[in-house]
Amino acid sequence: MLQRVVDWLDERLDLDDVRHFVGEKSVPVHVHKLWYYLGGVTLFLLGVQLATGILLLLYYRPSAEQAYESVQFIVTTVQFGWLVRNIHAWSANLLIATAFAHLFSVFLLKAYRKPRELTWVTGVVLLFLMLAFGFSGYLLPWNELSFFATKVGTSIAGALPLVGGFMLRLLRGGDDVTGATLSRFYGMHVAILPAVTTLFVGIHLLLVQRQGMSVPPSIERKLKPGDELPQMKFFPNYVLRDVVLWYVALALLAALAAFYPWELGQKADPFAPVPAGIRPEWYFLAMFQVLKLLPSHIFGIEGELVGVIGFSLAGLVLLLVPFLDRQTARGEPGRIFTVLAAIALVFMVAFTVYGYIAALQAGAAP
Amino acid sequence: MPAARHARLLPLAAALVLGLSYGAIAAPAAKNSCATCHARLTRSASALPSLQFREDVHRDLGFTCADCHGGDPTSDDQSQAMSPARGYRGVPTGAEVIARCAKCHSDAAFMHRFAPRQRVDQASEYASSVHGKRLATGDTQVATCASCHGAHGIRLVHDAKSPVFPTNVAATCGSCHSNPEHMKGYTLDSGAPLPTNQQAEYETSVHHEAMVTRNDLSAPTCNDCHGNHGAAPPGVGTVAAVCGTCHAVFAVRFDASVHKQVFDRGCAECHGNHAVKAASDRMLGTDQAALCGTCHSEGDNGFKAAIQMRAAIDKLKQGLDQAALLIARVKNAGIETSDQELQLGEAANRLTQARTEVHTFNPAPVDGVVKDGLGIVSRVEATGHSAEAELRFRRQGLAASLVAILLVVVALGLKIRQIDRRAGVSAPPAADKGGPAARA
């Protein structure tokens, strides 16, 4: 039956090129090949987000009056609504974790060097898009924690020089976080970000397929002239390994959803005092903690402004790494950027842990 | 601005400055030789009034010593300033104090200029009080206006430093009523000496705790039950009315009960008067800690009613505790329970209502409310048990899916081994082994 369908399609579309590409495509086998799978599992989790997100859309109502109640309805009354919502929430967090891990592995394996500069750039843009998904999705249940965290988060954008005020009103749809902000975040979360993400995922995958997997320079340097790395066929050998990892991720998601359901908390009350220990999601916590610790003024400039500019520059440097790392481009070991990546990793982990401890001490549950 | 224009404005500015200076000179503060002389006196008893008066509300409103004491404050000569011929009346005592304060405070038209909403019946109320009546008989030991409000440093009642601010009232009354020496000779209607432990008892009460610890200024202190200007002890039969001004529902239930006719001291029979403790369910029943057994004995109707009411309340309390534990358990497991928590709040309201109905001393209304509460509790428990079943289902479903996933993963692993062997995928060169990613 399947063969008849393929033949039917082949007759009309001439699938020879595709068949040839799939048949010939291979993946280099070496000691670091395990890191290749992080991209695949991130893509799988993105798919989970898409599927569960669509299901949630069927019941979610994006207004300050009804958002919280609709999520409550989803987790209490809708058949398997609790499962869908918990998987969506857990998968979002795992997705960002695997995206970060993918980024650091690509960074440390120097896979961004020529000719894969654009793959890197699209990957970093995708990470930023995932963070934007996280930020916008966090507000949608309209609970106390997300409401005040969004207030803090958007006020950070408001600290930007020149465009700060405009950015603040653009994000909030007014001077304060209200139902208008919720509508904007909803539109961003379910329409704008998915459209842009689809485009960038498409380009990213196309580039990965077109250019194949990068072999780390450390492996390349050890090869003797004329030696070739062993190869694994992409289909089915590599794809099946990918699928195994996807199943493991699925099992992990199901277990987390059943044993550690995502809390809904209290409905947001704009007139209530700010609860103690307010904090954003873990992936923004390091940034949040640094901004909190900065003095009010640094060399006469507002501390928060210095922090926001610093993080914006760090983001820009991350985006342009392939063009800045000249050592790696020349084929030399790029130790400076390796050290920078290690420092960034230690910095993020340390300040995230610090942020959690500070929030706990201030009286908030982690 | 051109310099010529500056020059034209100079005379105007000079005239303005001169005019203001003239105004300041032309309207000096009225002379008050009382304050000037008394402040210089070395005897503190004579100097203190002028020092205290600096913080007096009357001074802020423009009153002077002479408004109460008379005399001529414009004269520096003591014999002139304090001459009866010039209206000097000296230090008032006893009934004179009431008369001098009442001169203004009982004059509605006058008071309207300063405190339009203030009552003007303090003096007539005072005359009806125990203090006023005794004063009329010549007892000058009793409290007059100055005993409670002070004489020279009088503050507004809502000033926290005022002796009649709610948190200070007990100490102000206690300054006489807790002093055995001062209270010597005063007796109750029964002829027994008037106790002096009221303040000490009050300070152990739930009312004092509410006011001092919880800063609840609406909690009662002496004057809330005894009155202030018309101070009198609540008599037999009026205690429930006094308590009922705050505990209205309890008073209504009590008024309709059989105990209304029996309890000489009303609410105070069970709850005490000055040392009112937080009420608890232990007060109800027939065991040693309960109060009902004090009057009732086994077999009488009151004894049976006490047992029945306590049992009903205990049953609802126990049901509520169990349901709350169940809901907390399923909530911790991730089930949304806000509806059930609301219902538990409703059942807790029924418990409060049942405790109120106890003051009818009739088991029937208590049972009715408890039945309602137990109905709510059983509905919450049913939802809690369904939630537990749902949790079991989720975990069983998870176990089944994990087994299915494991089977698929094992099958895929076998398949991968098979196709790897067929395709001859080899391990990476030995030289590459052992290098961490960071080394790349």
Residue B321 has pLDDT above 80, yes or no: yes
Q: Is B3 on the interface with A (CB under 8 A)?
A: no
Handedness of CA B307, B310, B314, B315 (dihedral sign): positive
- The answer to whether B438 contacts A108, with C-beta atoms less than 8 Å apart, is yes
In sequence order, the 6+-apart residues with CB closer than 8 A to the CB of A147 are A139, A177, A268, A270
pLDDT score of A363: 61
Least confident span in A165-174, B47-56, B289-298: B47-56
Q: Is B430 on the interface with A (CB under 8 A)?
A: no
Q: Which residue of A has its CA nearest to B416?
A: A237
The mean pLDDT values, 10 residues at a time, for chain A of 366 residues are 88 86 85 90 97 97 95 90 94 96 94 93 97 96 92 87 89 93 96 97 94 86 82 88 95 91 88 82 92 87 88 94 88 85 94 89 59
List the single residue in B339, B432, B438 with the smallest CB-CB distance to A222.
B432
pLDDT in tens, B78-103: 888 898 988 898 888 888 899 999 99
Residue B439 has pLDDT above 80, yes or no: no
Distances in whole angstroms, Cα of residue B259 to Cα of each of A302, B265, B288: 73, 10, 21
pLDDT score of B2: 45
Share of chain B above pLDDT 90, in %: 52
* DSSP-derived secondary structure letter, A273: P
What is the Rg, in whole angstroms, of the alpha carbon atoms belonging to chain A? 23
List the single residue in B338, B394, B405 with the smallest CB-CB distance to A250.
B405
Please answer whether residues B250 and B359 qualify as being in contact, where contact means their C-beta atoms are separated by less than 8 angstroms. yes
Instruction: Determine the distance in angstroms separating the CA of B434 from the nearest CA of chain A, rounded to an integer.
Output: 8
Task: Tell me which H or E stretch contains B12.
Answer: helix B3-26
Residues in B closer than 8 angstroms to A141, CB to CB, are none
Q: How confident is the model at residue B20 (pLDDT cuts 50, 70, 90)?
A: very low
Mutate which: B390, B406, B409, vs A, most A CBs within 10 A: B409
Q: Is B427 on the interface with A (CB under 8 A)?
A: yes
List the single residue in A75, A219, A251 with the smallest CB-CB distance to B336.
A75
Which of A276-290, B230-244, B370-384 tops mean pLDDT? B370-384
List the single residue in A30, A240, A241 with the smallest CB-CB distance to B432.
A30
Q: How confident is the model at residue B23 (pLDDT cuts 50, 70, 90)?
A: very low
Residues in B closer than 8 angstroms to A248, CB to CB, are 405, 409
- The answer to whether B334 contacts A244, with C-beta atoms less than 8 Å apart, is no
* Token pair listed for A65: 């009056």
Residues in A closer than 8 angstroms to B437, CB to CB, are 32, 35, 105, 108-109
- The answer to whether A244 contacts B409, with C-beta atoms less than 8 Å apart, is yes
Please answer whether residues B222 and B170 qualify as being in contact, where contact means their C-beta atoms are separated by less than 8 angstroms. yes
Computed over every residue of chain B, the mean pLDDT equals: 85
pLDDT score of B1: 41
- The answer to whether B412 contacts A247, with C-beta atoms less than 8 Å apart, is yes
Q: How far is CA B114 from the centre of its chain?
A: 29
Residues in A closer than 8 angstroms to B427, CB to CB, are 29, 230
CA distance B34 to B47: 10
Q: Is A85 on the interface with B (CB under 8 A)?
A: no
Q: How far is CA A286 from the centre of its chain?
A: 15
Q: Which residue of A has its CA nearest to B425?
A: A232
Choose between B439 and B268: higher pLDDT: B268
Superfamily of domain A32-216+230-361, CATH level 4: Cytochrome Bc1 Complex; Chain C (1.20.810.10)
pLDDT score of B155: 93
pTM for the full model?
Answer: 0.66
Longest dimension (CA), chain B: 132
Please answer whether residues A72 and A261 qualify as being in contact, where contact means their C-beta atoms are separated by less than 8 angstroms. no
Mutate which: A231, A244, A260, vs B, most B CBs within 10 A: A244
Those of residues 355-414 in B touching chain A at CB distance below 8 A are 394-395, 397-398, 401-402, 405-406, 408-409, 412-413
- The answer to whether B334 contacts A108, with C-beta atoms less than 8 Å apart, is no
Q: B54: left (phi > 0), else alpha (psi -120 to 50), else beta?
A: alpha
Q: Which residue of A has its CA nearest to B402?
A: A251
CA distance A31 to B205: 78
- The answer to whether B416 contacts A218, with C-beta atoms less than 8 Å apart, is no
Residue B8 has pLDDT above 80, yes or no: no
Q: Which of B331, B319, B312 is nearest to B376 (CA)?
A: B319
Instruction: Determine the distance in angstroms separating the CA of A309 from the nearest CA of chain B, rounded to an integer.
Output: 29
Instruction: Determine the distance in angstroms separating the CA of A297 from the nearest CA of chain B, rounded to an integer.
Output: 37
CA distance B168 to B175: 11
Domain ranges, ordered by start, for chain A? 32-216+230-361
pLDDT in tens, B137-155: 999 899 999 999 998 889 9
- The answer to whether B405 contacts A236, with C-beta atoms less than 8 Å apart, is no
Residue type for B131, please?
H
Handedness of CA A252, A199, A311, A335 (dihedral sign): positive
- The answer to whether B416 contacts A240, with C-beta atoms less than 8 Å apart, is yes
Residues in B closer than 8 angstroms to A258, CB to CB, are 394-395, 397-398
List the single residue in A35, A72, A254 with the smallest CB-CB distance to B437.
A35
Q: B215: left (phi > 0), else alpha (psi -120 to 50), else beta?
A: left
Task: Tell me which H or E stretch contains A298.
Answer: strand A297-298
Secondary structure (3-state) at A146: helix
Residues in B closer than 8 angstroms to A238, CB to CB, are none
User: How many A/B residue pairs have CB atoms within 8 Å?
Assistant: 104
**Looking up tokens 């001062």, which residue turns up?**
B182
pLDDT score of B180: 94
Those of residues 280-339 in B touching chain A at CB distance below 8 A are 333-336, 338-339
Residues in A closer than 8 angstroms to B339, CB to CB, are 76
Q: Is A5 on the interface with B (CB under 8 A)?
A: no
Residues in B closer than 8 angstroms to A255, CB to CB, are 398, 402
pLDDT in tens, B241-258: 789 889 999 999 998 999
List the single residue in B394, B408, B419 with the smallest CB-CB distance to A236.
B419
pLDDT score of B425: 58
Q: How confident is the model at residue B35 (pLDDT cuts 50, 70, 90)?
A: confident
Domain ranges, ordered by start, for chain B? 311-423
List the single residue in A35, A76, A218 with the smallest CB-CB distance to B336.
A76
Long-range contacts at A199-204 (CB < 8 A, ≥ 24 apart): A200/A122, A200/A125, A200/A126, A200/A129, A201/A43, A201/A46, A201/A126, A203/A118, A203/A122, A204/A119, A204/A122, A204/A123, A204/A126
Q: Is B191 on the interface with A (CB under 8 A)?
A: no
- The answer to whether B338 contacts A72, with C-beta atoms less than 8 Å apart, is yes
Those of residues 222-261 in A touching chain B at CB distance below 8 A are 222, 229-233, 236-237, 240-241, 243-244, 247-248, 250-251, 254-255, 258-261
Please answer whether residues A57 and A85 qualify as being in contact, where contact means their C-beta atoms are separated by less than 8 angstroms. no
- The answer to whether A237 contacts B425, with C-beta atoms less than 8 Å apart, is yes
Pairing of strands A301-302, A231-233: unpaired
Those of residues 139-198 in A touching chain B at CB distance below 8 A are none
Residues in A closer than 8 angstroms to B440, CB to CB, are 32, 108-110, 216-219
Please answer whether residues A195 and A189 qualify as being in contact, where contact means their C-beta atoms are separated by less than 8 angstroms. no
CA distance B117 to B102: 16
Instruction: Determine the distance in angstroms separating the CA of B426 from the nearest CA of chain A, rounded to an integer.
Output: 7
Instruction: Determine the distance in angstroms separating the CA of A217 from the nearest CA of chain B, rounded to an integer.
Output: 7
Residues in A closer than 8 angstroms to B398, CB to CB, are 254-255, 258-259
Burial of B370 (0-12, 13-18, 19+ CB in 10 A): buried
pLDDT score of B81: 87
CA distance A128 to A267: 28
- The answer to whether B398 contacts A255, with C-beta atoms less than 8 Å apart, is yes
Distances in whole angstroms, Cα of residue B123 to Cα of each of A12, B127, B131, B151, B227: 110, 6, 11, 16, 14
pLDDT score of B419: 87
